[in-house]
Amino acid sequence: EISRKASRFQPIYNSGIHNENIKVLAPSQFVITVPLRGLFGYREHQTRHWRYYTVQGAKLHSSVRDPEELHQWLEVEQFAKSLPQWHENDVNIEGDLVPAKVLTVFRELVEKSIISCNLSNKVTMLESFSSVVRVAVETSELQVEVELAPAVEIPTCWPKKSKWPRCFKHWPSQEKVQCIKSLGFDLLARSSYHWQLCFFRAEHVLMQGLDEDGGCRMKCFRVMRQMKEDVWCAGNKPVITAYHLQTVLFWTCEKYPRTKDWCCFREAFLRLVRKLHKCVSQHFLKHYFVKNTNLLKYTNTSDLDLVANKLAVFLENPVLCLD
């Protein structure tokens, strides 16, 4: 319905749980990326000209905060071809594609489409302290919270900010690295100022081929996720999400690349939990593809300490059916 109203937003045809546009953070917390249409032939700029805007898209003369490693600016001139709609004032200021303005347009479309699709009894817009578009959706089992993030898909290149792999590693293989880099990346509209680098496709491929050698990596991940949801970090809005666990898994796979490291489930699982405990205790978890980014930087430290204490108790006496 949104795509019918505005051609800049691409429809998502497949709503299955294995859709690459859908990211599960927790049982009742999702991120859905909405591809943007009409931007082709991306070129990365060598120089940075950081410009800043209010949530409403008005230009500021000085920065509110420094750009982080996971963010970058985006200009319409960085694309070899673009539809005329991306040059209009509702999303563009002096050639800059402004996330806050894109999100404002998108939010209005979501609100109108909820009504036109007769979904007002099932879908509710949620208030947000930022520009992010969030809705509450009533399903047959429970209410879930969904962030809808407009995304510029860039399948043609790998961002220079990602120095991955940092050196030759046994995991993943060189062939898998080349395959992953060929998938490119996305830029998400999730803030007022900068577009956020996103590697959902790359992460999806990494997860798919984890146990090609017959190891127990996925089993460890599933059990750790279940323990997080049931014991260590329960609730509708956990401070540690499935995405954090996935990142911990990637780092552990890189450190322990051999097949024999993943033959014994008990040993492999406890090794993974110890890594998680270290990250949560130190309030520091590096993004797997952009190493200078701390995924726990803005997480409540008191909540992290509570999770760290629960993990420490578990590690002292790991009572769990680990066979």
pLDDT band for position 323 (cuts 50, 70, 90): very low
For 31-90, the pLDDT digits (tens) are 999 999 999 999 987 665 666 766 566 777 766 566 678 988 899 999 999 999 999 999
Residue 240 in tokens: 């540690």
pLDDT higher than 90, residue 131: no
pTM: 0.91
- When pLDDT is averaged across residues 1-17 and rounded to a whole number, the result is 85
Provide, rounded to the nearest whole percent, the portion of the chain with pLDDT above 90.
71
Residue 106 in tokens: 């998108």
